[in-house]
Amino acid sequence: MDFSTNIEPPFSKPDLSPRPGLKIRLRTLLREVGETILIAGMLFFAVNLFTARIRVEGGSMEPSLHNGEFVVINRLAYRWGNPERGEIIVFRFPLDPDRRFIKRIIGLPGDSIMVRDGQVFVNGIVLDEPYINAAPRYEGSWTVESQNVFVLGDNRNNSSDSQNWGSLRMEEIIGKAIVIYWPLNNLSIIPHYNIVSAAEE
């Protein structure tokens, strides 16, 4: 025999609690927007503190970098480390500090640099440079001063660099170029060739 009974669920009263008023909702929205803006501002400040961006102008770094490309620079690269041969850097142009140049480090303080017969020698050792556009048509020799670096463009015969105006003071370096980010089809990490061992053998 079935003794089950149907028990009706208790009557549920509608939620009559007052909803937040317009002022409260508006205040909440404004607070959330303010927090978002604050976080975005802090991120923007941090990104600009640690990095910078530069537009490549001209063809002095071809084929590594091309005119019109945008590059991210690591501002802190040399706060705790030293520049190395083969790295691409951005710096204030010594003859016009308002301008920004981008070149490759070839020589460090105390190095002897010589360009002869289309080749670059560092401390008497010829460098293997797969990144250059063409062999240099000029010749010369230089000694890198203390607290200076010697920089050359990869497009050796179309570049204003240390073979024109001498070595660069390290204090003028803004940072190390790390990424091409525009145009998007050129997005890539910038290679930094290790030419240290060849020069120090």
Catalytic annotation present for 17 = no
DSSP state of 114: E
Q: Is 64 a catalytic residue?
A: no
- Rounded to an integer, what distance in angstroms lies between the CA atom of residue 7 and that of residue 107? 91
In angstroms, rounded to a whole number, what is the distance separating the alpha carbons of residues 55 and 68? 6
Domain locations in the chain as residue ranges: 52-200
Give the pLDDT confidence score for residue 198 in this predicted structure.
Answer: 47
- Between strands 148-152 and 140-143, the pairing is unpaired
> Residue 123's pLDDT is what?
94
163 DSSP assignment: H
CATH number for domain 52-200, candidates 2.40.128.110, 3.40.47.10, 1.10.10.10, 2.10.109.10: 2.10.109.10
pLDDT (0 to 100) of residue 44: 52
Q: Within the chain, which residues score under 70 in pLDDT?
A: 1-20, 35, 38-51, 196-201
Considering the candidates 4, 12, 60, 64, report the single residue annotated as catalytic: 60
Residue 64's H or E segment, with its range, is none
Indicate which residue of 103, 159, 162, 167 is catalytic: 103
Structure tokens at 94: 């010594």
Question: What was the pLDDT predicted at 192?
Answer: 83
Instruction: Assess contact for 178 and 184: CB atoms under 8 A.
Output: no
**Percent with pLDDT over 70 in the chain:** 80
Alpha carbons 101 and 77: distance in angstroms, whole number? 17
